[in-house]
Structure 1
Amino acid sequence: MNITAARAAADNKVEAAFLRHKQGDIPFAYAVYKDVLTEFPDHSRALHYLGLIAQQTGHPQEALRLLQRAIEIEPGDVRAHNHLGQVWVGLKDKEAALECFERAVQVDPTHADSINNLANAVRVRDPLRSIELYRRALELNPLSALAAYNLANALNEERDSDGAVAMHERALEIDPRFVRAHINLGLLLEQKGRFAEAAEHYQRVLEIKPRHPGALANLIAVRSYEPSAEIVRDAEQLLTDSNTDERARIRLHSGIGKYYDRERQYPRAFEHFIAAKRIVQERGAGFEIRRIAEQIDRTIGAFSRSFFEQASAHGSDSARPVFIVGMPRSGTTLTEQILASHRSVFGAGELQDMPRILKGLRPGYPANVATLEASKLAALAEEYLRGLEANAGDALRITDKLPVNFMHLGMIATLFPHARIIHCRRDPMDVGLSCLIELFDMDSDFTTSLEHFGQYFLQYDRLMTHWRTTLPVSMFELRYEELVKDPETHARALVDYCGLEWDPACLDFQQTGRTVRTPSRWQVRQPIYQRSVGRWRNYEEQMEPLRRLLRESDYKYIQVEE
């Protein structure tokens, strides 16, 4: 056999082995690739596929060597560039991965898998480009459930929840057994108030993959769903399974706790809430009250009364921003939902823009604010407004209900002296319980114990006391207990404070079709009710550590008389 024929035979052997490789017969494929390389050491496909085996069997450095050699021999192999990028992803080298995917798309602009992976690589830094790339990948391969799924998630991150729902539905049309699409679509439907449909997707997951931890936890936690004894038993048994990972345990404890809370088995519910938070804490929640107190000391020092008296420049004259602040679970979502039901208000939700912008002023922030020039303040205000107004149309007012913006009210007043600030207050005992029940994604999670919550709350209250006496802008203080006792009076006052005429839709806020991304997505779909006032008393014995801490601090909160 001449060399050309021998090479053609080797090519056929490698591709036939690759078919077996894709079917899972790695030992057979490995032997063929090695055999071919013995005769043809520069056989690029054999090197390429052997690199895939190295990646699949946990040898990423060997995979890099083999794939890089394959590309040296055949630089026009788009799949080799793509696979090399995937190895770099596994090694968490984002820049190297991005370079490989960019090169792959340059080699073949129609290679859908490479385009999809490039979209993944740029999603954080350039979300709009990632959406464009996912769309192109889906056009090139209309049967790619993964591209539709990725596009759905990217759209959701850009707050296009309707587009996200449509793309998840498309992914499931392509692959009805796509578990992650069912889970994410279920969560989206919950945020839209379509709880029964969400439950159906979690149930579908359990049909595909019985005892799936995420589906069980989410299904049990859906307020409108009554789980069977078998469902609850499966969830509790998963907690005893050593194969259940920490993340799944957190979600299962949380879901089971909410189930027992609805069943009024409060001691049992509390055990699960505490168990979930304990795992969160053990995973490194990183809460240090000393750091919080020091941060608030610096903020109070920087934004003093004399600072505002001497300030001669501000950022913007815009009156569109409405900042809704307070502790988590203090009524911020309800307040935004009331306002967002007004025909002239757009509810933007919990925007991360203000903390992100102020992070750019570190390490000197907040002390360096006093030295910022008027042009810098104007640029910061304009940067924030671009994000705030992105989807707001011609709304007169736009709400940003990120609760932690209470930390930044000094800078907010400096940038937007005509903005509205609404401070939501609620009995810290009820807030503390609600924060213990819900799961949060925070770098410094103060909700992992009642003691941590109480320490954080007292520092928050110290800062809010400072703002009341120093801010040069008016602040509307809204007590949750008063709002739910007399909704119309306080809703009218809210609307009037925002400089708007009354809109009766504000009292029918539960009919608003907007997406609600916070844990309050169930509550704000219901007419206002008072049963959450004093809810902590169901757990009076368990809540004693927080009650004692507040009592020793002399904190007082005047509740509305029953």
Structure 2
Amino acid sequence: MNNAFSAIALYRAGRLDDALRCCLSALRSASPPLAAFEIAAEIHLRRNQWDAAETLLNEAIRYAPDSLNSRFNLGVVHVQRKKLEAALAHFEHCLREAPDNVEYMNAVGNCLRLQGDCTQASRVLKGAHAKAPKHGGICENLGWVLLSSNPHEAHAHFEAAFSAGNRSARVAQGMTESLIATGAYQAAVNLAQSALKEFSKNPELHHCLGVALVKSRRSTTAIDAFRTALRFKPEHAEARVNLAVQLEQQGELGAAEQELREALIRQPMCPEALFHLAFLKSACFSEAEEQLLRCALREARNLNDKGRLGLALGRVLEQRKKHEESMQAVLSARKMLAPSSQYCPESDSRRTEELILSHTQQSTRNAQAQEAVSSIFVVGMPRSGTSLTEQILASHPQVEALGETGVARALLQKLTDLNGGQYPQNWAQISPQQRHDLRIYAQGLLTDRLPRQENKVLVETTPGNHALVGMLAELLPSARFVLCQRSPLDTAISLLQHPLSPEHDYSHRLEHLSHRFKQFARCQQLWLRQFPNSCTRVMYERLVTEPEQTIRALLATLELPYSETCLYPHKTQRTVRTPSAAQVRSPIYRSAVQRWKKYHGALSPLISSLEPLEDAHQADLRSTS
């Protein structure tokens, strides 16, 4: 017993080696005291020596089954070793014996969170928070639980944890991630950089900094942050995949492939590494990697992971020329993703009607704008040639291509701020003064995005801005709009095969995909009719089969002199932040024309539905030949 008392005193004094020796001496006695087991185990816990701690705690529980402290610490060991079910059993046992103990409530809630049961975790942690609102650990865990569903509230909890004295690297990471989730990218960069002054070797904070920099469109600096994270934690799969994505977007396809394969060496079943490797144009899957992908698909629990891996499998099979099997894999993946779709055909139709009503009330712009072209908006359905068109224009010496600038989103928000209005519902009702204010604001947004001291034409490429052409054309008389158009069936096939951001979730169901195309076609006709001098149409098929003739005509329409560099867009070095990042690094190719014919059997309902649009497109091609 004297050894046990000595161990307690030494442990409290921070003399852990001496305390451990006293504990081990006490444990050799005929009746070892429980305190010796527990103190020795806690010392091993502090040193991350999980095996030794688990052995001692199991002995302690056999010696004293009612010891809640031993059970709690054994649960902590199981969490560290990712034995979450065993950990939860111990934590829940402790909570049943002491239902008001907030430490036990916090442990149960955190374990439920790690198991993915955020609903139950939130219930338990909110109960704990009600009892101890300034408990730093509870506030932190509530932040993690709420991060995906309510990032603003999550950020408030992380800040409360920090104020309560929990100033750990994990709290700094949570604060940074919640800022990223709310769109406060620069604030996230600043916070991560500040936290790294104290936690300079923390890989998670370096990774968070990289993500925030990507969102802030600073790819080169982001690459440095991801590489720093990997220097401190080479097995960090997410950092390695994010590094690979940035390298791909900068055109370093070989380096991107190398990073993805390294991620798979360290974590063979990493879903994101398998996914991005499958869609990297320069990479070819081996038979072993295909089997690994199939295995990951079978074992994936998350429906989103299963859907993305299914699309990746479709891509691999497509590379092997197994077209029917490829499309079956794609359709199966889309079926898995369909329940997550928020697309509403009725709302889409209603919005198109509102666009037509708002802009047919305005007079057609017959006169050519007097101002020189200062900005070009490239719009269209995704996978219709928008990235290729942007890359061609970016190759012109008088052009600065910035990808997606967010100008249109900012204008929509400004419209709401001015009078609470929405586009297009209230567009016809805004006053001349408000229209003038919006025009000045729009011009300022574009000017701010141009590099200093450069008199270049800005090119903005956001395919979704197609629905906003009317607003942009009226506010920016010196802007031009390149309306990209491709065979509806070829575009539809490509949309099915390539995963895009959530706003394109109409691709999950064939009937929704068909409906979206029909609304797009109606808008296309509206803009060409109402703004003939501001809008020009580029046919993808003409662009890839007759590139010089088509590019000359396009540049002339945009009031740009012809430049032969536009014929070789793959040689232009720039960051491309779209799923076509790898494709635009290749010379202009025509192999993607009429791809839909390979899938006629599997997609007959979609083909039948889109046949009138396809016929109209082919007629347009013939008329412009």
Report the TM-score, using the length of structure 1 for normalisation.
Answer: 0.84
Q: Distance in 2 between matches of 1:213 and 1:497?
A: 45
Q: Would you say 1:332 and 2:386 are equivalent positions? A: yes
Shift of 1:333: 0.6
CA distance in 1, matches of 2:469, 2:238: 39
Q: Report the counterpart of residue 329 of structure 2 in structure 1.
A: 272
Q: Contact between 2:192 and 2:208, CA under 8 Å: does it hold in 1?
A: yes
Give per-residue Cα distances to partners, 1:123-177, cap 9 Å, x unaligned. Answer: 3242211111111112222201111100100110111111111111111111111
Q: Does 1:435 align with 2:495?
A: yes
Q: Which position in structure 2 is the counterpart of 1:547? A: 607
Contact 1:436–1:449 (Cα < 8 Å) also in 2: no
Unaligned residue ranges in structure 1 (runs of 5+): 36-46, 73-79
Partner residue in 2 for 1:496 = 556
Distance 1:309 1:534 in 2: 35
Q: Write the distance in 1 (CA, Å) between the matches of 2:606 and 2:429.
A: 41
From 472, 475, 494, the equivalent of 1:415 is: 475
* Aligned equivalent of 1:86, options 141, 145, 150: 141
5+ residue gaps, structure 2, are: 15-34, 61-66, 74-100, 113-120
1:213 aligns with 271
2:581 pairs with 1:526: no
Structure 2 Cα separation of the partners of residues 163 and 463 of structure 1:
39
Alpha-carbon separation, structure 2, partners of 1:236 and 1:86? 35
Q: Which residue of 1 aligns with 2:292?
A: 234
**Counterpart for residue 30 of structure 2:** none
CA contact (8 A) 2:488 2:614 kept: no
1:196 partnered with 2:250: no
Q: Report which stretch shifted further, 438-447 or 143-152.
A: 438-447
Tell me the alpha carbon deviations over residues 417-439 of structure 1, each in whole angstroms, 9 at most, x when there is no partner: 22111111111121111111111
Amino acid at match of 1:145: P
Task: State the distance in 2 between where 1:16 and 1:503 align.
Answer: 76
Cα 1:239–1:177, aligned 2, differ >3 Å: closer, same or farther? Answer: closer
How many residue pairs match? The answer is 536
**Aligned partner of residue 562 in structure 2, secondary structure:** coil
Map residues 165-204 of structure 1 onto 2, 5 A cutoff.
165-204=223-262
Residue equivalent to 2:515: 455
SS in 1 for 2:580: helix
Q: Structure 1 pair 67/454, CA: closer, same or farther in 2 (3 Å)?
A: closer
1:308 aligns with 2:346: no
Cα contact 2:106–2:137 (8 A) shared by 1: no
Partner of 1:291: 347
Matched, 1:31 2:69: yes
* Structure 1 SS opposite 2:536: strand
Query: CA separation in 2, counterparts of 1:444 and 1:336?
Result: 20
SS of residue in 2 equivalent to 1:225: coil
Preserved CA contact (<8 Å) 2:282 2:582: no
Shift of 1:253: 1.6
2: CA distance, partners of 1:297 / 1:157: 34
Structure 2 CA distance for aligned equivalents of residues 391 and 554 of structure 1: 38
Give 2:89's aligned residue. none
SS of structure 2 residue aligned to 1:557: helix
RMSD: 3.6
User: Does the 8 Å contact 2:373/2:559 carry over to 1?
Assistant: no
Identify which of 194, 210, 221 aligns with 1:136: 194
Secondary structure of 1:256's partner? Answer: helix
Q: 1:93 to 1:253 in 2, by over 3 A?
A: closer
Q: 1:19 to 1:408 in 2, by over 3 A?
A: farther
In 2, the alpha carbon distance for the partners of 1:520 and 1:142 equals 36
Q: Kindly tell me: are residues 205 and 367 of structure 1, through their superposed partners in 2, closer, same or farther at Cα, counting changes over 3 Å? A: closer
**What are the Cα deviations for residues 235-294 of structure 1, in whole angstroms up to 9, with x where unaligned?**
1233333x442222222221121122122111111111111211121x321333222111
Partner of 1:343: 397
Query: 539-548 or 91-100: which moved more?
Result: 91-100
Q: 1:553 to 1:50 in 2, by over 3 A?
A: closer
In structure 1, how many angstroms separate the alpha carbons of the residues matched to 2:184 and 2:372?
A: 28
Partners of 2:131 and 2:13 lie apart in 1 by: 17
User: For the Cα contact (< 8 Å) 1:238–1:244, is it kept in 2?
Assistant: no
Q: Please tell me whether the aligned partners of residues 257 and 280 of structure 2 are also in contact (alpha carbons under 8 angstroms).
A: yes
Tell me the distance in 2 between the aligned counterparts of 1:17 and 1:434: 57
Q: Which structure has the higher relative contact order (CA within 8 Å, separation 6+)?
A: 1
Specify the code of the residue in structure 1 equivalent to 2:608: R
C-alpha contact 2:378 2:461 (8 A) present in aligned 1: yes
CA separation of 1:436 and 1:487: change in aligned 2, threshold 3 A: same
Mapped contact 2:489–2:610 kept (Cα < 8 A): no
Distance in 1 between residues matched to 2:383 and 2:502, nearest whole Å: 14
Q: Taking structure 2 as the reference length, what is the TM-score of the superposition? A: 0.76
Aligned to 1:468: 528
Matched residue type, 1:453:
L
TM-aligned CA distance change 1:65 to 1:544, over 3 Å: closer
Q: 1:118 maps to what in 2? A: 175
Q: How far off its partner does 1:378 sit?
A: 3.8
Q: State the partner residue of 1:99.
A: 156
Structure 2 Cα separation of the partners of residues 308 and 16 of structure 1: 83
| Deviations, residues 454-479 of structure 1 (Å, cap 9, x unaligned) | 22212211222122222264211111
Aligned partner of residue 325 in structure 1, secondary structure = strand
Contact 1:116 1:133 in 2 (8 A): no
Q: 1:387 to 1:258 in 2, by over 3 A?
A: farther
Question: 1: distance between equivalents of 2:212 and 2:614?
Answer: 47
User: Given the superposition, is the C-alpha separation of residues 539 and 141 from structure 1 closer, same or farther in structure 2, using an over 3 Å criterion?
Assistant: same
1:281-319 residue CA offsets vs partner (Å, 9 max, x unmatched): 1x3213332221111111101111x423699xx9x9794
Give the Cα–Cα distance (whole angstroms) in 1 for the partners of residues 290 and 177 of structure 2: 36
Q: Is the 8 A contact 1:33 1:50 kept in 2?
A: no
Contact 2:568 / 2:588 at 8 angstroms: preserved in 1? no
Structure 1 contact 116–134 (Cα < 8 Å) conserved: yes
Q: What's the secondary structure of 2:316's corresponding residue?
A: helix
C-alpha distance in structure 2 between counterparts of 1:466 and 1:439, whole Å? 29
Q: What is the aligned-residue identity percentage? A: 24
Query: 1:489 & 1:553 partners in 2: Cα distance?
Result: 25
Are the structure 2 counterparts of residues 355 and 448 from structure 1 closer, same or farther at C-alpha, using a change threshold of 3 Å? same
Q: Distance in 1 between the 2:617 and 2:133 partners?
A: 69
**Displacement after TM superposition at 1:557 (Å):** 1.6
Change in CA separation of 1:32 and 1:231 when aligned onto 2, cut-off 3 Å: closer
Deviation at 1:552, TM superposition (A): 5.2
Shift in alpha-carbon separation, 1:279–1:502, aligned structure 2, 3 A:
same
CA distance in 1, matches of 2:337, 2:371: 43
Query: Alignment partner for residue 377 of structure 2, among 299, 323, 333?
Result: 323
What is the match of residue 316 of structure 2? 259
In the alignment, the residues of structure 1 paired with residue 229 and residue 279 of structure 2 have an alpha-carbon distance, to the nearest angstrom, of 25
422-431 vs 373-382, which moves further? 373-382
Conservation of the 8 A alpha-carbon contact between 1:418 and 1:473: no
1:483 Cα deviation after fit: 1.1
**Which residues of 2 match residues 62-77 of structure 1 at below 5 A?**
63=125
- Report what 1:426 is aligned to: 486
- Conserved 8 A contact 1:308-1:472: no
